[in-house]
Chains A and B, each alone.
Chain A
Amino acid sequence: MFDASYILTFLPKLLESLPVTLGLVGVATAAGLLLGLLFALARLEKLPVLAEASTVLISFLRGTPVLVQMFVVYYGLPLLLQGIGIDILRWDKIIFIYITYALNASAYFSEGIRAAVLAVPARQWDAAAACGLTKGQSYRRVILPQALPIAIPSLGMTFTGLLQDSSLAFSLGILDVMGRAKTLGALTSRALEAYAAAAVIFIILTLLSNAGFHTAGRSRKRKEALT
Chain B
Amino acid sequence: MDFAFLWTALQAAAARIPATLSLAFVPFAAGILVGLPTALVRRSSLPVLPNVLAGLVALIKGIPVVLMMLVFFVLASETFDGFMQSLGLPWTFRELDKSLVAGAALTVYATAAMCEVFRGALAAVPQSQYDAAYAAGLTGAQTLRRIILPQMVAPALPMTCNILVALVKSAAIASLVSVVDVMNGAVIAAAGNYRFLEAYIAAALVYWALCLLIENIFRLAEKKCARRFAV
B62 engages A65 (CB within 8 Å): no
A188 at the interface (CB under 8 A from B): no
A71 at the interface (CB under 8 A from B): yes
Determine the chain B residues whose CB is within 8 A of the CB of A75 once the complex forms. 196-197, 200
Determine the chain A residues whose CB is within 8 A of the CB of B65 once the complex forms. 164
B197's nearest neighbour on chain A, judged by CB, is A75
Query: Scoring A residues 78 to 109 as 1 if CB is less than 8 Å from chain B, else 0, what string do you get?
Result: 01000000000000000000000000000000
B172 at the interface (CB under 8 A from A): yes
Which one of A63, A79, A165, A199 has the highest number of Cβ atoms from chain B below 10 Å of its Cβ? Answer: A63
Knowing A63-B208, A76-B201 touch, does A167 contact B67 (C-beta < 8 A)? yes
Q: List 19 A-B contacts (CB under 8 A).
A: A59-B212, A63-B208, A63-B215, A64-B169, A65-B169, A65-B207, A67-B176, A68-B204, A72-B204, A75-B196, A167-B64, A167-B66, A167-B67, A178-B67, A191-B70, A192-B78, A195-B74, A203-B63, A207-B62
Report the interface size for chain A: residues with CB under 8 A from the other chain.
Answer: 37
CB distance from A133 to the nearest CB of B (A): 35
A165 engages B201 (CB within 8 Å): no
Please report the C-alpha to C-alpha distance between residue A203 and residue B70 in the assembled complex, in whole angstroms. 16
A175 at the interface (CB under 8 A from B): no
B102 at the interface (CB under 8 A from A): no
Determine the chain A residues whose CB is within 8 A of the CB of B61 once the complex forms. 206
CB distance from A109 to the nearest CB of B (A): 16
Residue in contact with B196 in the complex, picked from A63, A69, A71, A167, CB distance below 8 Å:
A71
Shortest 3 CB-CB distances between A and B: which pairs? A203-B62, A63-B211, A206-B62
